Amino acid sequence: MPTRFAGFVAAICLLIGLPAMLATGAELVPDRRIIHALNRLAFGPTLEDFRHVKTVGIERYIAEQLDPDAIPEPAELRARLASLDTLRLNPVQLRQIYGPLRSLRGFKPSPELERAQRERVQVILRDASEARVLRAVLSPRQLYEVMVDFWFNHFNIFSGKGLDDVWIGNYEERAIRPYALSRFRDLLFATTKHPAMLVYLDNTLSTAPGSRGARGNQKGLNENFARELMELHTLGVDGGYTQEDVITLARILTGWGVNPPDARVYPEYAAVFEGARHDYSAKVFLGRQLQSRGKAEGEEALEILARSPATAHHISFELAQYFVEDEPPSSLIDKLTERFLQTDGDIREVLKALFASPEFWNSYSRKYKTPYQFLISAVRAAGVTVTNVRPLLTAMDQFGMPLYGCLTPDGYRNTEDAWLSPDATARRIGFATALGKGALPITPMAQPVDAIRLEAIFAETISDNTRDAIAGSPQGLRAAMMLGSPDFMRR
């Protein structure tokens, strides 16, 4: 009888979403917990997601989000993505079709043709941007899309550098997305070997001086990639490497470059290891003697970096800063680092530990949204089915966070000091007003946003001041005020 009774209670709890509260013992009211989860695991709540979490409970929602493949994507989104042809081309095809025109039997293409080609290549950025924004707004696999944003900034490249205007969409599709919730090592390998990264950080130029393949502008060592690979991608700036290690890693990676367009060897690959430019001398990297093994030597170095405790700490810090607060507590970072090392860098497991931590649940509304997060969350809360992403991309430009437009390899920051400014607040209010009034052409017949819908999501969680200010304002302004409120600037 007692056993049956306990089972009965558990079943009731499951039905009304109590277990999550009991599990962590936090004092937040249930709505706040739901909003908190949706603000961090998703790009903010939609009314549908809010109701879904209310129904299934927070633990179930977290489990669902950690297994995105099991969540079906809406047919409409799939159809929209299917129409973006350049996402399905490989780097060789992309360069063939959209790359700079080449001389034909000694004849240079005319300036007019070159200009036309430069216009043509812009479809790549358009397709990539459309896919990114549509998925962020519409996909129910929200945590997955959040992690794409996180990893893209971690392994940032810039569309304006060299051939990256041709490869940027493929880079996200092939090097980031497949591994966004997988092992860190896989991400590191995929990004390091993608031609877009090798171009972005100049490794294509890096050549062992005096090697057989040294010629033209490929005559010497370029340390750019080696440095950023350790400082930004893996160990972190205080990760215990020296300038000597930077040079050694640069030597290890000599020859990792881009296959010329007319290559006879491996013509189907855009990124190749060119042995003729590689430094085959003996090396000591991070205190370890490496065998001279050409390309395998570089892979060995990546394995060492991926498994270093410094890397585990660095990635854990970044995750905690992104998901919890700008200055995350060291107790949490240590916990995540331990989990990272136990699971060989399994991102899913690290996130699971993060979402189960009291530090996570005690950080309600402590993060200031980046422009990207603000814009995506506003459209989601408004419940608009976006068909035209252009106004959102323009807003990202104006807010100083152009999509795929971060020049520097450190990617966009996600902290308050990076984004909170008088001008940012004015612009966010401007956007919220335009969106609230239905003046933003993101859908063919934009309607004013229904304030009732927003109230259904936020009524229980907004501050008293915001609630009173909205209640005392004309009906037509209420949606704009909610989306432009101080509450909505944070997550």
Q: Which residues bind other proteins (CB under 8 A)?
A: 108, 111, 114-115, 158, 160-161, 397-400, 402, 407-410, 413, 416-417, 420-427, 429-430, 433-434, 465-466, 468-470, 472-474, 477, 480-481, 484-486, 489
Cα–Cα dist 359/264, whole Å: 55
Of 5 and 107, which CB lies nearer to other proteins in the complex structure? Answer: 107
- In this complex, which beta carbon is closest to other proteins, that of residue 114 or of residue 303? 114
Q: Give just the sign of the alpha carbon dihedral 319, 324, 327, 331.
A: negative
Closest separation in Å from C-beta 182 to other proteins: 29
DSSP 286: T
* Distance set, CA 69 to CA 3, 60, 178, 179 (Å): 35, 15, 11, 12
Residue of 211, 309, 287 lying closest to 251 (CA atoms): 211
Minimum Å distance from CB 394 to other proteins?
Answer: 9
Amino acid identity of 14?
L
Residue ranges with strand state E in 388-475 = none
CB of 433 to other proteins, least distance (A): 4
Comparing CB distances to other proteins, the nearer of 147 and 396 is 396
CB 45, CB 34: distance < 8 Å = yes
The residue with tokens 């001041």 is: 465
Least Å from the CB of residue 469 to other proteins? 4
Q: Which is nearer to other proteins, 309 or 430 (CB)?
A: 430
CB of 193 to other proteins, least distance (A): 22
First to last CA, the chain: 45
Query: CA geometry: angle at 200 spanning 368 and 419, to 5°?
Result: 15
Closer CB to other proteins, 182 or 224, in the complex: 224
Q: Choose between 182 and 466: whose C-beta lies nearer to other proteins.
A: 466
Q: How far is the CB of 231 from other proteins (least distance, A)?
A: 8
DSSP secondary structure of 89-126: S-HHHHHHHHS----BTTBPPPHHHHHHHHHHTHHHHH
How near is the Cβ of 430 to other proteins at its closest, in Å?
Answer: 4
Residue whose CB is less far from other proteins, 177 or 314: 314
